[in-house]
Structure 1
């Protein structure tokens, strides 16, 4: 047999084997068809309090967080290691992951919420028991560094998770009503910014929406903190962006770093797949030192206008006082001109 033909047959057989192996792997990790929804939270339920992202260095913030959850009507079960300390983290990676797994295993716990954001979630994203979570779906919520876990859990199990306030957040009336509507009342809610009337000005200067490209789009919601999300690119925990509505926010990043993270999403193919983009708040994302910088407007225009999908900026998502609760994996419709996201079905049952 000619050498070239032998090589072609060998390559063909190898490709077939690799494709079969890839298919088996995808079948092993693929979530069930359609979003898996947890039971709605109810007053009197027990919330498991975990700290996968960061240590809590003083007793008072933990006490206030527990009192806040109790004021929402919940009983609170702190994780075994929620007050632990190893460097900046609440215990070792194994301990922090074990707390989450234990809460999903405990039938007396109705939902799980993170104490605070930080930087430790990527270290444990491969240590969660996703089969357990799939078998015992529960509310799981948090934001900022929790972007890793809310997207990974949805991607690995199909469970709708929640980009929500953490326990240590400020639970003002807007944040409380947004949380209750989506996670407790099972509303197919319209997620929109609070209305702020100017006290002594001709126009409102807060909670403004700016339309980058008008239009409407439907798809499952995915996203969260841009920096954290970009760090998942190329891993099995990065969300499926095909036909999705991607929402993004960030804090304390120089504009060139925002640019770099957006380029990561472009290069990994995420942007070419999305149906629409919702930009939350990019709090204190400034030029920094150097010879100059693009503006955030210019950076967003460079990456998002060529997509020819609806995009708006300014949603009440991110490191801000008044926060929306956004269900990751839930089907929704965005309106780029109105600056709204409408859930097409309740995110919980």
Structure 2
């Protein structure tokens, strides 16, 4: 796994470059005003690798079969299966794949095959005028957060933070995605009931940090990727938003550091609510290292905000996760630990 923390200085430098490449109108923060078309059986959808590469090109066959099992027709981007260091092609080439998919009238949505690291590197080379003119669902998670945030800031339509095309796509992932993207439904997300043989189940538990309900536009994704965009023109305005965040392989003190960055940068103070999903393998393993627990870190940062907040929702680096509409209006109920979508995200 790529060490994303080592890339922070490089991203800051790219932010300045990206600002120079964007036109003045594109620099304005855009709220979603249009809806991408809903998917239907037989639609062609693009497959891109905007970050890491697939080790074995034969591993792409099950990915394509997954798309076909959805009733869709996969169209591979030019860099699919390519390798450039730890990336699936050079920055301009990967960006060209994204631009081409949004320019192609036959392509109805775009799936990221996988995450890794690299989406932020290509942000300066995205053609936001073309992307903005051709609203299509973008689907993926992890490093794809950089694209979700850039689209929220500059494209003006909703995207879906959900499984990558190479994910397992079990029933708990597929059905919510189909409801959003195919049916135009407005689901309410709640963790499933545990099937453990215990008097008190431990699996998929949630914890209310601050009770209450709140409504706002849903923005967020991977915490590490999101905080790495601070100070660049690719982070949207979080005023009145519901923030959702998750992470993987980050020790508690690093989650603390990133939440501190969001606080000092003014993001947390603008929010209406917060949902923290799954933090996979987020435990410091250093011998004799005294530390706060993850829940204590979240309590310290989120409870003083005085807004509804809860942890434990099923999104993040897990086998089955929610498909969350980035940029759409939602209502969170921190006592019930639910996220309710308030508007269709497709036309």
| Fold equivalence (TM over 0.5) | yes
Match of 2:65 among 67, 71, 77: 67
Name the counterpart of 1:252. 249
How far apart, in 2, do the equivalents of 1:42 and 1:205 lie? Answer: 38
Name the counterpart of 1:131. 129
Name the counterpart of 1:236. 233
Which residues in structure 2 correspond to 1:1-349 (within 5 Å)?
Answer: 27-30=25-28, 32=30, 34-198=32-196, 200-289=197-286, 291-349=289-347
State the number of aligned residues.
325
Alpha carbons of 1:194 and 1:82: their partners in 2 closer, same or farther (altered >3 Å)?
Answer: same
How far apart, in 1, do the equivalents of 2:294 and 2:33 lie? Answer: 34
Q: Confirm or deny: 8 A CA contact 1:189 1:346 kept in the other structure.
A: no
Q: TM-score, normalised by structure 1?
A: 0.90
The Cα shift of 1:236 comes to 1.2
How far apart, in 1, do the equivalents of 2:40 and 2:108 lie? Answer: 9
Q: Confirm or deny: 8 A CA contact 1:211 1:312 kept in the other structure.
A: yes
The Cα shift of 1:332 comes to 0.6
What stretches of structure 1 of length at least 5 have no aligned partner?
1-24
Structure label with greater radius of gyration: 1
Q: 1:9-64 CA deviation, whole Å, 9 max, x = no partner?
A: xxxxxxxxxxxxxxxx8644325554321001111111100000101011232111
Q: TM-score, normalised by structure 2?
A: 0.91
SS in structure 2 at match of 1:176: helix
Compute the RMSD of aligned alpha carbons. Answer: 1.5
How far apart, in 1, do the equivalents of 2:31 and 2:320 lie? Answer: 34
Q: Confirm or deny: 8 A CA contact 2:207 2:311 kept in the other structure.
A: yes
How far apart, in 1, do the equivalents of 2:234 and 2:76 lie? Answer: 26
User: Higher mean Cα deviation, 337-346 or 25-34?
Assistant: 25-34
Q: Confirm or deny: 8 A CA contact 1:35 1:330 kept in the other structure.
A: no
The Cα shift of 1:83 comes to 1.2
Q: Confirm or deny: 8 A CA contact 1:219 1:333 kept in the other structure.
A: yes
SS in structure 1 at match of 2:313: coil
The Cα shift of 1:239 comes to 2.3
Q: Confirm or deny: 8 A CA contact 1:190 1:342 kept in the other structure.
A: yes
How far apart, in 1, do the equivalents of 2:258 and 2:34 lie? Answer: 29
The Cα shift of 1:105 comes to 0.5
Alpha carbons of 1:215 and 1:135: their partners in 2 closer, same or farther (altered >3 Å)?
Answer: same
